[in-house]
Chains A and B, each alone.
Chain A
């Protein structure tokens, strides 16, 4: 209806007779506002052609207003059944009334003009929408700019450490941030945070939080103190219903010693020899409640271990079927990958194949990885004895995927000098161990991934197969299945898996911790046992 009113405001001017001379006083141009519930609207909507105002019996303020403006005849402009405007005419200049021919001509004109006017209105409407969208986008650019101001320009260069970071804001701009802060005595502060909410307000809160941390960190040595102080300062300032989750850790790069405190942020993952653990420390998000205290914990990253700090954007990304990427999957990736850039690449590859091509990123994604280089081999150890990784990958827990694991391991070891019969044994062992992980570790839940790590030295191949079914009982001695009892029907015919694996390889180790369960297979390149 706005469009209609606007049209009416302009229209009388155009329709005025431009000749001042004449027996009649020319009609003054005037804007006429028609209220959307004026009965005249409904009348015009259903009118079949030009309407003479004088003969119209209708209680309508708009009718009176139009007459007052000197209008005699009104031709409704109807496009696709919708009243989109009015053609208003004053009295004829020749002093005669409008004839039947005049009205026919006007009706004809209205029928042709209406669609053209409608198109013009749509174009105008679209222009307005474009301007609104541009304004919103401009605002987003500002938010993005604020946010990017506070991201580190470069990563710290620490000898014997690989540091990598990835930051991808969602289109609507969330409030993720991360930073590295130089501290006294060569220590380094690492912070990862996430402001609830999006857009300019989140970016501003992020900027404030960042400044507080930057200011406090070098002065206050303890991570718990830094977070407590930040909470005390943010709480009175922060808008209602907004808060900041934040993890802050202090690393001594010389010793690998870490001290950390956590204000409700995702727990960091530490990878140690293919196993993944979480670094726990409790604390409320910043800005939510006054006078909070934060637990402070310590840990050591040994050579060869790596660490992942991460915001919600990755683990909480949704796939096409609305299923979540999930923390277990992320943990699996950490376990299956060396740290650093390769872990980040891996996470992103996995994410993209999980969410599919039509994904619109829901939230910012921030990943920061630290990896402490493995200790250099000591001079006495023969270099030829070193073990090197040949492949690491994951497979989804679907029945039959053990064959994928088997083929990929075969591909990874194909350059090694190993005889065919031993390769066949490895095939069977890998397939059985993967099947075990899929069925017993993950109960065929396809969204969970089995991690496979293949390494070799000059003497042997080691394959580690890890699932997330931690806390499982690990068999001490693998029992020989009782085939007589099975043939008598006293036992299920099944239950050959572990026995088979053990007899295929030279050594099998089964281990389980709180989160993961691993079967490690070792096979010597040159056989001396198992009659191969």
Chain B
């Protein structure tokens, strides 16, 4: 059971910077996630969408990383959205109240439409 490496690729979709995450969001994702967020900010987009479609594992350290991103975006007054979460992780985001500070959408299309 090889651990799936974390990946984060930034692209633009209708003026929203989308970060396609993949693999495992854990301690090993720290530097890449940070770099991807900086890259997304550099595109000048006012909204950043974290796409969890290809993520299969998030642990408490991963949650801490996402909270870290939200803290940054709050300071910069930037909107962060999320889509593609499985039912399990959607629930975890609700329990931890991360969902209160990051709108969760079923899929990318809905998220892009809602992005201000």
Residues of A at under 8 Å CB distance from B?
A: 399-400, 402-404, 407, 421, 424-425, 428, 431-432, 435, 481, 483, 486-489, 492-497, 499-500, 503, 531
- B68 CB contacts on chain A under 8 angstroms: 493
- B1 CB contacts on chain A under 8 angstroms: 403-404, 407
A483 touches B64 (CB 8 A): no
Q: Which residue of B lies closest to A431 (CB)?
A: B59
The 0/1 profile, CB within 8 Å of A marked 1, for residues 81-116 of chain B is 000000110011001111011000000000000000
Known: A432-B60, A494-B64, A496-B60. A403 touches B71 (CB 8 A): no
Determine how close the nearest CB of chain A comes to the CB of B59; give it in whole angstroms: 6
Cβ of B61 under 8 Å from chain A: yes
B95 touches A487 (CB 8 A): no
B64 touches A531 (CB 8 A): no
Of B27, B70, B96, the residue contacting A500 (CB under 8 A) is: B96
A421 touches B87 (CB 8 A): yes
A487 touches B101 (CB 8 A): yes
Of B60, B65, B92, B96, the residue contacting A483 (CB under 8 A) is: B96
A188 to B92: give the CA distance in the assembly, Å.
56
6 pairs across A/B with beta carbons < 8 Å?
Answer: A402-B59, A404-B1, A432-B60, A483-B96, A495-B64, A500-B96
B96 touches A488 (CB 8 A): no
Of B3, B96, B100, the residue contacting A400 (CB under 8 A) is: B3
B3 touches A486 (CB 8 A): no
Q: Is the interface of A mostly helix, strand, loop or mixed?
A: helix
A5 to B64: give the CA distance in the assembly, Å.
82
A402 to B65: give the CA distance in the assembly, Å.
18
A493 touches B96 (CB 8 A): no
Determine how close the nearest CB of chain A comes to the CB of B32; give it in whole angstroms: 16
A428 touches B95 (CB 8 A): no
A399 touches B27 (CB 8 A): yes
A407 to B98: give the CA distance in the assembly, Å.
27
A402 to B3: give the CA distance in the assembly, Å.
11
B101 touches A500 (CB 8 A): no
Q: Which residue of B lies closest to A404 (CB)?
A: B1
- A489 CB contacts on chain B under 8 angstroms: 71, 75
Determine how close the nearest CB of chain A comes to the CB of B96; give it in whole angstroms: 6
Determine how close the nearest CB of chain B comes to the CB of A490; give it in whole angstroms: 10
Q: Is the interface of B mostly helix, strand, loop or mixed?
A: helix
Cβ of B74 under 8 Å from chain A: yes
Cβ of B63 under 8 Å from chain A: yes
A428 touches B59 (CB 8 A): yes
Of A404, A425, A431, A499, the residue contacting B96 (CB under 8 A) is: A499
A370 to B60: give the CA distance in the assembly, Å.
41
Known: A431-B59, A496-B60, A500-B60. A483 touches B88 (CB 8 A): no
B71 touches A493 (CB 8 A): yes
Of A402, A432, A487, the residue contacting B74 (CB under 8 A) is: A487
* For the complex of A and B, 4 pairs with smallest distance between CB atoms: A496-B60, A493-B67, A424-B88, A494-B64
Q: List 20 extra interface pairs beyond A402-B59, A486-B67, CB under 8 A.
A: A403-B1, A403-B3, A403-B57, A404-B1, A407-B1, A421-B87, A428-B88, A431-B59, A435-B60, A481-B96, A483-B97, A483-B98, A487-B67, A487-B70, A493-B68, A494-B60, A494-B64, A496-B96, A500-B63, A500-B96
A496 touches B63 (CB 8 A): yes
Known: A399-B27, A493-B67. A500 touches B92 (CB 8 A): yes
A404 to B97: give the CA distance in the assembly, Å.
28
A421 to B89: give the CA distance in the assembly, Å.
10
Determine how close the nearest CB of chain A comes to the CB of B67; give it in whole angstroms: 4
A487 to B64: give the CA distance in the assembly, Å.
10
Within 8 A of A (CB), among B1-39: 1, 3, 27
Determine how close the nearest CB of chain B comes to the CB of A347; give it in whole angstroms: 26
- A435 CB contacts on chain B under 8 angstroms: 59-61
B100 touches A496 (CB 8 A): no
- B63 CB contacts on chain A under 8 angstroms: 496, 500
A492 to B101: give the CA distance in the assembly, Å.
17
Determine how close the nearest CB of chain A comes to the CB of B106; give it in whole angstroms: 17
Of B59, B71, B88, the residue contacting A487 (CB under 8 A) is: B71
